[in-house]
Amino acid sequence: MKLNPIFNKAIEWGLIEKNPVCGIKRHKEESRSRYVTSEEMGRVMKVLAEKENSKLTEEQKQSKISEKLFLFTALFTAARSGNILGMRWDEISLSEKYCVYQKLRVKMVKLYI
């Protein structure tokens, strides 16, 4: 969240006289690559296996399958969660082992204060 627009709105509303963050330069973070290690993947698989073996209702099992599909897609494709959640079955080929990501189907709406 950016603070500058919030303080500017507070000035406009007469709540404060001066923007305390005006003139402060943002620290640029160095980009870094983050990969799931084999140890982390092993822990995820262990938890999933434990949950599969627990006593669940059919509805809970179906919900867990959806969670598992989401998790595997996220881990193995590095896709954004919005892209994964917006996928349709016609964009996935399990037999051919590929999926196609369409642009996000919702237009980003700018929030105005």
* pLDDT at residue number 1: 64
For residue 72, give the amino acid letter.
Answer: F
What is the distance between the alpha carbons of residues 92 and 99, in angstroms, rounded to a whole number? 4
Pick 105 or 2 by higher pLDDT.
2
How many other CB atoms are found less than 10 A from the CB of residue 87? 19
Residues 23, 24, 28, CA angle at the centre, nearest 5°?
135
pTM for this prediction: 0.47
First-to-final CA distance of the chain: 13
User: pLDDT for 20-62, tens place per residue?
Assistant: 998 888 788 787 777 788 898 889 888 877 776 677 777 877 7
Q: Which of 2-11, 39-48, 53-62, 85-94 has the highest mean pLDDT?
A: 2-11
